[in-house]
Amino acid sequence: MNDIKHVNVTTVDAAVAELGKGNAAVIAGGTDIVQGLKAMLSPNPPETLVNIKPIADLSKLAEEGGMLKIGPLTTLTELAESSVVVTKYAALAEAARRVASPELRNVGTIGGNICQGNRCWYYRAEHDVFHCIRKGGPLCNATLGDNRFHSIFGAIAGCIAVNPSDIAPALIALNATIVTSKQTVDAENFFAADLEKTTILDDDEIVIEIQVPTPAAGIKSAFVKFAIRKSFDFPVVNCAAAIGGGEARICLNGVYNLPRRATEAEDSIKGVTIDTASAEAAGTAAIADAMAWPVTGWNPSNKWMIEIAKTMVKRAILGCQ
Ligand SMILES: Cc1cc2nc3c(=O)[nH]c(=O)nc-3n(C[C@H](O)[C@H](O)[C@H](O)COP(=O)(O)OP(=O)(O)OC[C@H]3O[C@@H](n4cnc5c(N)ncnc54)[C@H](O)[C@@H]3O)c2cc1C
């Protein structure tokens, strides 16, 4: 691991100033970024980590003005155990509860969760052994190799790594807004279709608040996740839904470079009585555009993920009954 300068900051302005000096990155809980630094997965790692944990204002979790305001330093445990979140924002509480293990949830933050890097075992391999297209290399190794956990909705700029956040689809289904040090953006538009980064944040920009409108009476939300190890694992596919009052917002993740709204499923279920048949039909609609990568040599393809995605959409909808 390279030597890294560690700077503590106590204000958002100080964080932005440190990041503006260049070749620096935010550290919050550190569960994602430190793993990448130790593995030396990037050929251009940051030289400075800007520790935002001393910024007291970023740990808020409270309902105010018809919305839930969440500081980015709120831990996943705090979210999962908050009675307000559990009662009114069920998809978000369940998503937080299902992230990784208790130890990681105690340390990992919501800000770090939505800003974490995409996952692909070629991209994440130690010491940059696969200098893939995501790091400026010539090709996406996963399109030619073992892509059993990769995008089923095509590539962005040739890359089929997936966004693995459990929190992101819950925020999108609940129509949340992300407030940064520079702008306010719908959660749906926060994620970047870019090889070099997973969010729209500039190098000197940080998330300072997440705002989730309190769901109107009659709207219910749910989050479901399929993972290989049930107790402690990234999602193969997850899905969040918020349905009621003739409206529906459904979002899948783990299936594409970005969290993917299942608009076809939303159209299918809006204003319809939720039952097994209508939820199944919406699941089928959600995968209409899905495509598996072909089997290459001995490598399995990701065809199985399409059926999982269909089932996740169906179960998330049934969870909103
Ligand atoms: C073994 C293991 C299992 C995991 N399982 C899951 C899982 O099941 N589901 C899941 O969703 N995730 C999982 N994760 C991923 C991730 O570690 C956690 O989701 C955690 O929430 C990340 O938060 P953090 O505070 O530790 O982020 P950090 O590691 O501190 O930061 C992650 C990224 O976010 C940036 N960042 C952090 N805060 C901000 C901010 N306020 N503004 C701008 N940028 C910011 C950092 O610069 C960095 O790029 C897992 C990680 C590990 C190591």
Q: Whose CA is nearest to atom 4 of ligand 1?
A: 100
Which domain range does residue 111 map to? 5-318
Distance 107 CA to ligand 1 centre (A): 9
Residues 203, 194 contacting (CB under 8 angstroms):
no
For residue 297, pLDDT over 80 is answered with no
**44-93 confidence digits (pLDDT tens):** 899 999 999 999 999 999 999 999 999 999 999 999 999 999 999 999 99
What is the distance between the alpha carbons of residues 22 and 98, in angstroms, rounded to a whole number? 35
Q: Whose CA is nearest to atom 9 of ligand 1?
A: 99
Q: Could you tell me the CATH number of the domain that includes residue 52? A: 3.30.465.10
For residue 231, pLDDT over 80 is answered with no
How many distinct structural domains can be found in the chain?
1
**247-295 confidence digits (pLDDT tens):** 999 999 999 999 999 999 999 999 999 999 999 999 999 999 999 988 7
Distance 51 CA to ligand 1 centre (A): 14
**169-195 confidence digits (pLDDT tens):** 999 999 999 999 999 999 999 999 888
Distance set, CA 307 to CA 165, 200, 275, 311 (Å):
20, 31, 19, 6
Share of the chain above pLDDT 70, in %: 100
Q: Which atom of ligand 1 is nearest to the CA of 25?
A: 47
Output 296 or 13, whichever has higher pLDDT. Answer: 13
For residue 168, pLDDT over 90 is answered with yes
> In sequence order, what DSSP letters do the residues of 239-295 get, joined into one string?
EEEEEETTEEEEEEESSSSS-EE-HHHHHHHTTS--SHHHHHHHHHHHTTT--PPPP
Residue 237: per-residue pLDDT? 98
The whole model's pTM is what?
Answer: 0.97
Q: Is 178 in the pocket of ligand 1 (CB under 6 A)?
A: no
Q: Is 35 in the pocket of ligand 1 (CB under 6 A)?
A: yes
**24-44 confidence digits (pLDDT tens):** 999 999 999 999 999 988 888
Give which of 287, 295, 288, 249 is closest to 269, Cα–Cα.
249
What is the distance between the alpha carbons of residues 108 and 110, in angstroms, rounded to a whole number? 7
Q: Is 72 in the pocket of ligand 1 (CB under 6 A)?
A: yes
